[in-house]
Structure 1
């Protein structure tokens, strides 16, 4: 069943007297529980599409439906992790993660939910640390924990691992896959890294500049995936040729 439907969506920006087209007639669906990666050259509108899905931007034309209805950001159906962790510097790790739960649950349940998420993402020993003391990888783990603790149906990831070293990135991706399988939510992940997309996704969408001939690839590979496997290399070659 489709969680997300994007129908003939266009997004234009006006800069001075010039009208800039970022997205043109994008149509796609994402099923519940699916893990989708968006690839494409810089400027093709990947981040803009995430912002439209999240409700941070409105489309110029077309329609975006979540669970069959227009989405309003206050419904908490969707949460987003950005390129930068965007943690509140005056709050501890645990306070950052619990921030979105306050007012919706009693203190005991908040503590339980946050402690559970800290444990799942290997952050328990850092719960009282302040953000300035964290490495980039730990800070992004906190950002992911803060997004997931609210139990969104759809998690949007806007290149949150792009600045991390390969070992840290691999570790976070492995933990994210475990959480995705156990918590039953949907992910749309933007990346420039083809290997990263294949490591994660069930479906890969390659957006083109001006969105002509958007291409879709099924990544029907068993987890965990190895970049050295023939199936991985074959899919990577097809995706690169589509650019």
Structure 2
């Protein structure tokens, strides 16, 4: 068994309940209690050997309180965690991406419209609509170009005829997003021809979508972004905007047409 799998077995109950319970609950508890008792017993013996020293109980209280204050101060008033992750390999999170077949619909969806009738956007929208069941799509942001906008309009019209728009709000075309970058004009979901291959602009656009989702009381983890029908530049922008672990991604597999969820476990930051 690989070391990483052993770690998962003792920290994740869903991987191996028996191993997680025995090692995580019993063994670690015995070790921590043993170290703790050893420290306090040595401290108590040291105090007994000295005359006129502080009360053992008061000293124990002072040490515990000091440790709590120290840990809280490091966590909330310093950048120690970021420094440790940057300079100490042991503290660095694993850079890995988990890919699995998506089975649960999301209430929020970001899609890129292709300039054709059978756009992948319609496939993923219908998946998350989930036939209007208890868990289904509520808000959908459709990123369009001048070429794909007519196809998006026709697609939403079909959804209207089927009654889907009664339960889902579709935002596309001239829909204005929060102006988080102080542009001359608030950005819309219609990407102009000169911005199609600009990943930085698309990244800004997707970031604006997540701000808009928050205004609609949707958490970032409740909004999934699909990049199947996007151009290469738009795909890069969507990926850059969703490097945060709480922004899930998806795409349609070319092998079996399944919708695959990507769970990114790292975050990009400037050097």
Same fold at TM > 0.5: no
Normalization by structure 2: what TM-score?
Answer: 0.31
Normalization by structure 1: what TM-score?
Answer: 0.33
Structure with higher RCO (Cα < 8 A, 6+ apart): 1
| Higher relative helix content | 2
| Higher relative strand content | 1
Instruction: Give the structure with higher Rg (CA).
Output: 2
